[in-house]
């Protein structure tokens, strides 16, 4: 039998946490043959709720779940973890300045970075979900210098999956037959959902999405804004932000990273830019990646037209600005 993998979920008493921990315990993230030990962290005001989640995990009698640590102590939470899913953060509340929210999250990610660096297992893989996800991941990277930048990522898979979903609905095809959309840039409304290399599996072979949709006007405008604004549309409908889709996408992100992407398929992940596609190095930026043997690699050589170029640059500019704002909170 396999040794259990320790998975940390921060903000585990929140709504994404509530959807995510049972998925992990069922093997959705790491495979149905992989035992897991869940480490759940939240802050003292949520301690009782967190304990309630632990009680439910016990009650669900998940065969793969070999242990649960529920704590408000960041050192205990981080000790020995192999995978860290960072969902906890400070939300933007009405009337709050962007700088104030940034400052709260910078201080959270700075201290959690140190705890992970000192106490996590070697080669721990980190996924930041909490917003501003890209910049929180960058802060985490800066303050955990001994964790390889290859191991620090942020979630844009939800946006990627939303793009697949929109194409599937539009063409009335199975979502599993659509692939290779790309989310470029920030997990914010400046992101660029790109279908220029996306395809659909048809009885006559793989066809480009553009050829099948036959409506560039829709693809270049409404499709993009629908994906960019989907989070807001969910809040409007549910009066709560996306939770089950965020949790499911976080599982997709880690699963593909650890177990690999299928041949010929890429996914979107926020990763540390090496300057690929002339995106400034040193930002956490969402790129198309393939994964093998537990490592992601940015897909190279895709053609970028003028329309796309502008959009890649726009979201990079926003991230550079966020980075500067985050750094200004440090001093």
**Binding footprint of ligand NAX on the chain (CB under 6 A):** 10-11, 13-17, 41-43, 46, 87-91, 108, 129-131, 133, 155, 158, 187, 231, 241-243, 246
What are the φ and ψ backbone dihedral angles of 266, each rounded to 5 degrees? -120, 165
User: Cβ 175 to ligand NAX, closest distance in Å?
Assistant: 18
Q: Which residue is nearest to ligand NAX (CB)?
A: 14
| Closest CB 142 distance from ligand NAX, rounded Å | 17
Beta bridge partners of 284: 272
Is the Cβ–Cβ distance between 82 and 8 less than 8 Å?
A: no
Q: How far apart are CA 13 and CA 2, in angstroms?
A: 28
Nearer to ligand NAX, 9 or 299 (CB): 9
Pairing outcome for strands 182-184 and 192-194: antiparallel
d(CA 21, CA 12): 8
Identify whether the C-beta of residue 125 lies closer than 8 Å to the C-beta of residue 151.
Answer: yes
Closest of 234, 252, 134 to residue 188, by C-alpha = 134
Our answer to whether residue 187 is catalytic in this structure is yes
Q: How far is the CB of 264 from ligand NAX (least distance, A)?
A: 25
Residue 254 CB, nearest approach to ligand NAX (Å): 13
CA distances from 242 to 15, 46, 81 (A): 9, 20, 26
3-state helix, strand, coil in the chain (%, to 5): 45, 20, 35
- Of 39, 119, 160, 187, the catalytic one is 187
- Characterise 172 by phi-psi region: left (phi > 0), alpha (psi -120 to 50), beta (else): left
In the complex, least distance from residue 79 CB atom to ligand NAX, rounded to whole angstroms? 15
Strands 267-272 and 284-292 turn out to be antiparallel
In the complex with ligand NAX, the residue whose CB is nearer, 130 or 316, is 130
> Smallest distance from the beta carbon of 92 to ligand NAX, in angstroms?
8
Residue 251 in tokens: 């599982």
Nearer to ligand NAX, 4 or 52 (CB): 52
Of the candidates 222, 194, 202, 207, the one whose C-alpha atom is nearest the C-alpha of residue 299 is: 194
DSSP state of 26: T
**Nearer to ligand NAX among residue 20 and residue 200 (C-beta):** 20
| 307 vs 196: CA distance, rounded Å | 11
Residue closer to ligand NAX by CB (options 133, 147) is: 133
Distance of CA 189 to the CA centre of its chain: 15
Question: How far is the C-alpha of 50 from the C-alpha of 44, rounded, in Å?
Answer: 9
Residue 82 or 131: the one with the smaller Cβ distance to ligand NAX is 131
Q: C-beta of 318: minimal distance to ligand NAX in Å?
A: 15
Q: Which residues make Cβ contacts (< 8 Å) with residue 135, sequence separation at least 6? A: 102, 105, 284, 319, 322, 323, 325, 326
* Residues designated as active site: 187
């Amino acid at each position: 039998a396999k040794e259990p993998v320790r998975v940390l979920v921060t903000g585990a008493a929140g709504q994404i946490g509530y959807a995510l921990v049972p998925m992990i315990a069922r093997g959705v993230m790491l495979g149905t043959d992989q035992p897991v030990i869940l480490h759940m962290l939240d802050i003292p005001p949520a301690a009782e709720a967190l304990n309630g989640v632990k009680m439910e995990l016990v009650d669900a009698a998940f065969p793969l779940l070999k242990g649960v640590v529920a704590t408000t102590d960041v050192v205990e939470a981080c000790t020995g973890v192999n995978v860290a899913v960072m969902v906890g953060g400070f939300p933007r509340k009405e009337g709050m300045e962007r700088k104030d929210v940034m400052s709260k999250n910078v201080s959270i990610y700075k201290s959690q970075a140190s705890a992970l660096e000192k106490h996590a297992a070697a080669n721990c893989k980190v996924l930041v979900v909490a917003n501003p996800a890209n910049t929180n991941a960058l802060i985490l990277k800066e303050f955990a210098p001994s964790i390889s930048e290859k191991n620090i990522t942020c979630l844009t898979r939800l946006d990627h999956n939303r793009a697949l979903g929109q194409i599937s609905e539009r063409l009335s095809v199975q979502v599993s037959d659509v692939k290779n959309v790309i989310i470029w840039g920030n997990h914010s409304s400046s992101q660029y959902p790109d279908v220029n290399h996306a395809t659909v599996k048809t009885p006559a072979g793989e066809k480009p999405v553009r050829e099948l949709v036959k409506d560039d006007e829709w693809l270049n405008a409404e499709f993009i804004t629908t994906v960019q604004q989907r989070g807001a549309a969910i809040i409007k409908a549910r009066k709560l932000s996306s939770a089950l889709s965020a949790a499911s996408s976080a599982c997709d992100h880690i699963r593909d990273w650890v177990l690999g992407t299928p041949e010929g398929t890429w996914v979107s992940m926020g990763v540390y830019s090496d300057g690929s596609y002339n995106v400034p190095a040193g930002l956490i930026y969402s790129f198309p990646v393939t994964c093998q043997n537990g490592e992601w690699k940015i897909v190279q050589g895709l053609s970028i037209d003028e329309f796309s170029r502008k959009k890649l640059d726009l979201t990079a500019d926003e991230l550079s600005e966020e980075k500067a704002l985050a750094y200004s909170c440090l001093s």
